[in-house]
Amino acid sequence: MPFSLFGADKISMADIDSIGHSIPNIILWAVPFMLFFTVVEMVVTYYQDHEFYEKKETIGSILVGLGNLAVTSVIKIGLLYFFIWLYNLIPWRMELNWWTLLPCYVILDFFSYLAHRVSHSQRFWWATHVVHHTGEHYNLTVSYRLSWIQHIKIIFFIPVALIGFHPIVFFVTNQLAVLFQFWVHTEYIRRMPSWVEYIFATPSNHRVHHGSQEKYIDKNFGATFIFWDRIFGTYQPEEEQVIYGVTTNLTGNKADPFFINFHEVKEMIADVRQAKGFRRKFFYVFGSPVKIALEKKRLQLQEVEEMEVSA
């Protein structure tokens, strides 16, 4: 039989249930292993008297992670319909070949880099990602902190689907990419061999991404491969000890998953309502999160000065 890559038949929407069952739920299968290694890290941290975990923050991470699993399971069929529809639109549909996982993974990781970078540069997208950065301690539970509304960023991955990868390959690749990011959220793996640090998003490289120091902010966006950051000038090696969190850390209940997920959305809506003029409103939605934070601090200082003058 001659080799065939493109020209696969369209997928009937009537077969969507069988397609859905054909996609292995890798992340769900991995949950027991993730919990096991998390407990091991907690126990080691306790006996070594390190401050890598904080009770409320850990509870918040776990609840956010459980909520993300629930949201994903609810919208899975809808996403599957959408990507099968895209697959059927194009004439260069790929056959279901498992070796296509590798090129799909690399290409998806590139678009993940772009989506991640945009999520740090525009507040609207930052609101779908900030959840992951609100932890002030770095440990394996930080990998659970995935926004419940992050799936709207699926639009950044439409080009990957339009290349023609089979939907099963696309969904399996996405799960593998998410799962890869579990192990990089730890203090216990320091530096790896130089060639590994050069190619992959290791714990050292990713700790930098979670840093709140000026030199670490908006660096190392790569999810699996760090060479995207080296190519596009966003790479920063780990130097001094990282201070985790965001420039303005959470002041509410750090164990409340709803507060963790929606605090930025709530603040964004409030800022838009108070802003005067379309330009200012647009700024508070799509402006740089860093610039918006600085602007809000400037306005707060201005208000204090005005109150002192009037007093």
Each residue of 168-188: pLDDT tens digit? Answer: 999 999 999 999 999 999 999
Looking up tokens 């629930």 gives 70
Query: Where exactly are the structural domains of the chain?
Result: 17-232
CA dist 234 and 226 (Å) reads: 10
CA–CA distance, 22 with 172 (Å, rounded to integer):
10
Give the per-residue pLDDT at 174: 96
pTM of the complete model: 0.92
Instruction: Give the residue ranges of the chain where pLDDT is below 70.
Output: 1-4, 311
What pLDDT sits at residue 4?
A: 61
Long-range pairs for 28-37: beta carbons < 8 A, 24 or more residues apart:
28/69, 30/179, 30/182, 31/69, 34/140, 34/143, 34/182, 37/140
Tell me whether residue 95 is exposed, middle or buried, using C-beta atoms within 10 angstroms of its C-beta: 0 to 12, 13 to 18, 19 or more: middle
C-alpha–C-alpha distance, residues 161 and 170, integer Å: 7
CA dist., res. 218 & res. 119, Å (int): 10
Q: What pLDDT is recorded for position 1?
A: 43
Separation CA 95–CA 299 (nearest Å): 57
Angle 206-153-134 from CA coordinates, rounded to 5°: 45
Q: Which residue has the tokens 């080009």?
A: 159
State how far the Cα of 285 lies from the Cα of 268, in Å rounded to an integer. Answer: 7
Half-sphere exposure of 202 (CA within 13 A, CB side): 18
How many angstroms separate the first and last alpha carbons of the chain? 88
Alpha carbons 3 and 9: distance in angstroms, whole number: 15
Residue 3 pLDDT: 54
Q: And the tokens for 160?
A: 């990957």
- What's the pLDDT at 10? 92
Cβ 79 vs Cβ 16: under 8 Å = no
